[in-house]
Amino acid sequence: MQKGTFKLMKSVNKSIILNKIRTSEPTSRAQIAKDTKLTPPTVSSIVKELIEQGIVMESDSGQSMGGRKPTMLHINKTAFHIVGVDAGPDRIEYILSDLSGVVRGRGSIKLDMPITNERFLSLLKKGIHEVVEDAPVKEEEIMGIGVAMHGVVDVESGISLVAPNLGLTNIPIKEELEKEFQVLIKVENDARAMASGEAWFGGHGESDSMVAVNLGRGVGAGIVVDGKLFHGAQDIAGEIGHMTIDIHGEICECGNRGCLQTFATGSAIADRARKKIDELERLGTFKLTGESVFELAKAGNKTYIDILEETGVFIGIGLTNLIHLVNPRKIVLGGGVMKSAQFILPAIHETIEQRALTPDAKQTQVVVTELGNDATLLGAVSLLLTELFQPI
């Protein structure tokens, strides 16, 4: 891949103009100058450069106000592409997307445990090469690579500090991928990446305050404030999976007792089911999982329905705490656990209604993502879009 295309584009005024075109397209140079307070010569000069770089294109669709029809500007969404990576605990998923989030290629590589940093990085690079080579795009059209990584990530250095589900620490993801591919690399915690993806592709409009919560093998959240991800002082903002729900509860993998994660993950749901259900002895070799609890609930078994509804109460308590702390306009839920939304979501809504402090807080929108299994992957793609379109 060729290095530099993306970084050469990056400047405050370019980002302002690109974002104005993106949010108002089609629009004219004159309208951009009026809305951004940039001078017409500055706008014309930057637009000319963006057209030459291929990211902006012109059309003659403007309406005349008595004179010549203005030339309108659009983002050329298929001119460049981004690789999005979801480095999960079981496998690494890859997509190649255009600038509008349309997927042009995808791939997946299974992770076998135990694994080393070197092996993980080797598989990461292998999958990226494969998804790029198999897609109908040229390598020079690849603008960058976004990686959504579970655990604690140092965003500036792009190092995965702690990846608990892989048992790894200090993985130099950004450094290694920059050496290999010579493009801009962005690495982010997976829940925060999901929140970014929701803000870009989730159809939530101009939602300036939103939280996305990922409930799967772990529990994490991404917080969007004024349209931008909030990281906190040490890059651990959003770790609501380790919010204490019961000080006498089960020991979490973090070492504390009663974290939300001990109630709301797929494995936690299955563990609670095993402890509560005497009939388990009659299940023989049947392996109870979060997914099988859902299937049994769908079949009408009230015991399993109760377990999922109870899970909704625990999640609702955690989200009520989140509402009191952050006060977002909307909370978007994703991850494998939310495949059981028909049983879990009503209990979440009821719990928030019972516990939220004010009438307005009770009305906080809590919905399930419409991006499905691609929510985190598209979030990884959005990390590069944020870099391109949002001013520094």
Confidence of residue 220 (pLDDT cuts 50, 70, 90): very high
Which residues of the chain form beta strands (DSSP E)?
27-28, 56-59, 72-75, 81-87, 91-98, 103-110, 142-149, 152-154, 159-163, 168-172, 184-189, 209-215, 219-225, 228-230, 330-334, 365-368
Length of the chain: 392
Residue 8's pLDDT is 45
Give per-residue pLDDT as tens, 82-129: 999 999 888 999 999 999 999 999 999 999 999 999 999 999 999 999
Right CATH number for 204-369 from 3.40.50.300, 3.40.720.10, 3.30.420.40, 3.40.50.2300?
Answer: 3.30.420.40
The residue written with tokens 């995808």 in the block is 106
The pTM of this model reads: 0.86
Q: Which CATH superfamily is domain 81-194 in?
A: ATPase, nucleotide binding domain (3.30.420.40)
Give per-residue pLDDT as tens, 297-310: 999 999 899 999 99
Which residues of 184-300 form beta strands (DSSP E)?
184-189, 209-215, 219-225, 228-230
Residue 282's pLDDT is 52
Q: Domain-by-domain residue ranges, the chain?
A: 5-75, 81-194, 204-369
Running DSSP on this structure, what letter comes out for residue 238? T
CATH architecture of 5-75: Orthogonal Bundle (1.10)
Residue 170's pLDDT is 97
- Taking alpha carbons only, the member of 340, 284, 344 closest to residue 309 is 344
Tokens of 46: 């930057």
Tokens of 381: 């793609």
Who's near 281: CB < 8 A, 6+ residues apart?
Answer: none
Is there a shared CATH topology between the 81-194 domain and the 204-369 domain? yes
